[in-house]
Amino acid sequence: MTPTPKIVFLDASSLSDLPAFDRLNEVGDFTSYDLTEPSEVPERAADAQVIITNKLEITAEVIEQLPELKLICVSATGTNNVDHKAAEKRNIPVRNVAGYSTDSVAQLTLTAYFTVAMDLLHLNELVYNGAYSKARDFTMWRHPFHELPGKRFGIIGLGAIGQRVAELAACYGAEVVYHSISGSDHDVPYRRVDLEELLTTSDVVSIHCALSDDTRHLIGYAELERMKSTAYLINMARGGIVVEADLARAIDAREIAGAAVDTFSTEPLPDDHPYLGVKQREHLLLTPHVAWASVEARTRLIDGVIENIKAGW
């Protein structure tokens, strides 16, 4: 009979509010902490056979201090927070969960675009602050807005999330084109274009590629200058794909109409981040890395972690 593993979730704060979270008790002797400092890992996971981490780094030093460790589960898609060489040296599998947040990220992508492009936060405030009540006309707006049908929606990275965004944009009547970082064609009804054409002709540029040596700082000031002055940039992928200081500068210079960003190079956002110094704030919508976090997506994530524990134990 296989012994019940001791499982420690080191940084469970983003999942522990869900009813599904309690199911982790069914697969082992389970303990969770909302947050764990790196110095606390050796004590908290001292005799754990399975550890679960979301963002907390599992370094070679940490792995060396956990003699009972047999499995590392990452409650995310990326596993760059784990030292894979150190895990391989001990024959410890590292399991992630892929595809759980596709619909959630795609949903916020379109929502964020419409919010910034239609100036919705400002219009909402006009009603609440009494400006609309004092208006002489029945309607009011600050910036004209356009319909998405007939506009070109350019997607950088056509993986699962990129394809779902493409489907939603196409449902609105947009012309979807995409740029493949690898240069590969996908079996999709959308045209592949080079980055230059995508940037210069798209009304919306939406980023959905992974962060890698090929994509780090892919979009800097030169690329933003090549976009239409009426175009919007949406980044729901990784902050490092965009040169953040350059985007802040381009927003204030009105090189593009606006942007919506959900991910940042450093998270949480530092007080001195360039985005927070933008003068034209109505043209830059910022959300706190929340695109992945619908209730359904987080529930699928827990289910995936449970399956990884069952398969790896």
Residue 175 annotated among the catalytic residues of the structure: no
Catalytic residue among 40, 196, 267, 296: 267
How far does CA 87 lie from the centroid of its chain? 26
Residue 179 annotated among the catalytic residues of the structure: no
Residue 296 annotated among the catalytic residues of the structure: no
Q: Answer whether 264's CB lies under 8 Å from 289's CB.
A: yes
Q: Which long-range contacts (CB under 8 A, 24 or more apart) does 26-32 make?
A: 26/306, 27/306, 27/309, 27/310, 27/313, 28/4, 28/309, 28/313, 29/4, 29/5, 31/6, 31/7, 32/8
Can you tell me the distance from the alpha carbon of 227 to that of 196, in angstroms, rounded to the nearest whole number?
9
Conformational region of residue 135, where left means phi above 0, alpha means psi within -120 to 50, and beta covers everything else:
beta
DSSP 157-201: --SHHHHHHHHHHHHTT-EEEEE-TT----SSSSEE--HHHHHHH
Catalytic residue among 44, 226, 249, 289: 289
Q: Which two tokens stand for residue 195?
A: 């980055």
Q: Answer whether 211's CB lies under 8 Å from 237's CB.
A: yes
Catalytic residue among 238, 273, 283, 298: 238
| Residues assigned a catalytic role | 238, 267, 289
